[in-house]
Amino acid sequence: MYKLAKLLFPICRSITGNGVRQTLNIIKRYVPDMNIIEVPTGTKVFDWEVPDEWNINDAYILNPNGEKIVDFKKSNLHVVGYSIPVNDIISKDELDKHLYSLPNQPNAIPYLTSYYSKRWGFCISELERRKMIEGDYKVYIDSSLKKGHLTYGEIIIPGETNKEIFLSTYICHPSMGNNETSGPVVVTFLAKWIKEIINRKYTYRIVFIPETIGSITYIAHNIMEMKTNIIAGFNVTCVGDNRSYSYLPSRQENSLADKIALHVLHHTHPNFNKYSYLDRGSDERQYCSPGVDLPVASIMRTKYGEYDEYHTSLDDINLISPEGLQGSYEVYQKVIECIENNKRYISNMICEPQLGKRGLYPTLSSKNSVNKVRKLIDFLAYCDGDLDLLEISEIIGVPMWDLYEIKNLLEENQIISQV
């Protein structure tokens, strides 16, 4: 995964443009059956409209001495996203109005965008800014903002039912690591893995979209299937660093997605940070909005907005790590396995079965013989056809995956049946 991250990191992405296409084409090498969809500028999507497509070739600032003090080629964060073209010589005072820096993080280039209001600007570290001398500066942005398309990728992996598990990640952030090279990387590998699941019960809908306008566009075009089919969804973002695990609920807060996410995190990373829906800040804002009401939660490593490097050049490729990505990948795998396995079982017998005659119970009854088969008989005690595997595992206080083998054993012995 880290190799893919390194491939995707340098690309200058925005909510539209060739950086998005380039990113999707690399991902398609891993999951070839991804569809890449182009939505024309001007398409109405609910209260919004697909904006002009933005592309950029180069950008820089020359100081009065002709030195390149800002160079888009060195960091694509230097240009405010969706900057209109400019090619001018202006005073330092005039330039100052177009410069953005962070006085409290003097060595960081901030990340800024202006999608829906036409302006141009440069982002620069506070240290570089302080070094700027008096005089006239050449500002140059070779960008274009014209009719084009919004581009996104979609993978549908069919399962036994058309009920769906939904994964969404976004491909509109330029060169930053945790937020957001990590999301597309982890989702790409999850998609590869999902295709290999034997007897996949659910259908998987997986999208790589630009944030906000992308999710709104996607919802606008798919709302009926999504509302009908999706039983659990996750907005996959900030899954690359190795400092913590985080959970952000759906608006419902107790959907299947939420319950499974909490179950998995409690048993695998009990010190995870639990956020509220009020802390949201990504595409769950659209997926969970009134009227859309999808059960979309997020499991993250360190959450957007909660770490100093967030939305600056300090969130670079070194902030994420193979371990960070792998941890997220494994948690999402466990989540998906739990949903796939979350079935209801009913005992075929009244009263406890005689486990001993099937070799499932110690034949010599002593002080603590029951403890040896405690999980099995606890599981059986709640196999009433109403409680699902998640509910039973919560009641008896074990991770769901501890029950998979027991459940198989009991099914093989015809002691329980799936409802």
* Contact residues: a copy of itself, CB under 8 A: 45-48, 80, 100, 102, 110-117, 119, 212, 215-216, 219-220, 223, 251, 277-278, 280-281, 285-286, 288-293, 305, 310-312, 346-347, 349-354, 356-357, 363-368, 370, 377-378, 381-385, 395-397
110: Cα within 13 Å, side-chain hemisphere: 17
Looking at the Cβ atoms of 70 and 219, the one nearer to a copy of itself is 219
Q: Which of 256, 37, 35 has the alpha carbon at shortest distance from 156?
A: 35
Min dist CB 25 to a copy of itself, Å, is 27
Looking at the Cβ atoms of 26 and 220, the one nearer to a copy of itself is 220
Asked if residue 385 lies in contact with residue 344, where contact means CB atoms within 8 angstroms, the answer is yes
Looking at the Cβ atoms of 57 and 414, the one nearer to a copy of itself is 414
Min dist CB 249 to a copy of itself, Å, is 12
> How far is 107 from 109, CA to CA, in rounded Å?
7
Looking at the Cβ atoms of 323 and 412, the one nearer to a copy of itself is 412
Angle between helices 389-396 and 374-381 (to 10 degrees): 130
> How far is 272 from 169, CA to CA, in rounded Å?
21
Min dist CB 216 to a copy of itself, Å, is 5
Min dist CB 123 to a copy of itself, Å, is 9
For 151, phi and psi rounded to 5 degrees?
-115, 135
Question: Could you tell me the CA-to-CA distances from 321 to 1, 175, 271 in Å, in that order?
Answer: 9, 15, 20
Looking at the Cβ atoms of 34 and 415, the one nearer to a copy of itself is 415
Min dist CB 392 to a copy of itself, Å, is 11
Residue 308 three-state SS: coil
> How far is 109 from 128, CA to CA, in rounded Å?
10
Residue 87 three-state SS: strand
156 DSSP β-pair partners = 205
Min dist CB 293 to a copy of itself, Å, is 8
Q: Where are the alpha helices (DSSP H) in 31-100?
A: 92-96
Looking at the Cβ atoms of 19 and 110, the one nearer to a copy of itself is 110
Asked if residue 383 lies in contact with residue 345, where contact means CB atoms within 8 angstroms, the answer is yes
Looking at the Cβ atoms of 208 and 307, the one nearer to a copy of itself is 307
Min dist CB 333 to a copy of itself, Å, is 29
Burial class (CB in 10 A: 0-12, 13-18, 19+), 151: buried
Min dist CB 393 to a copy of itself, Å, is 12
Looking at the Cβ atoms of 31 and 59, the one nearer to a copy of itself is 59
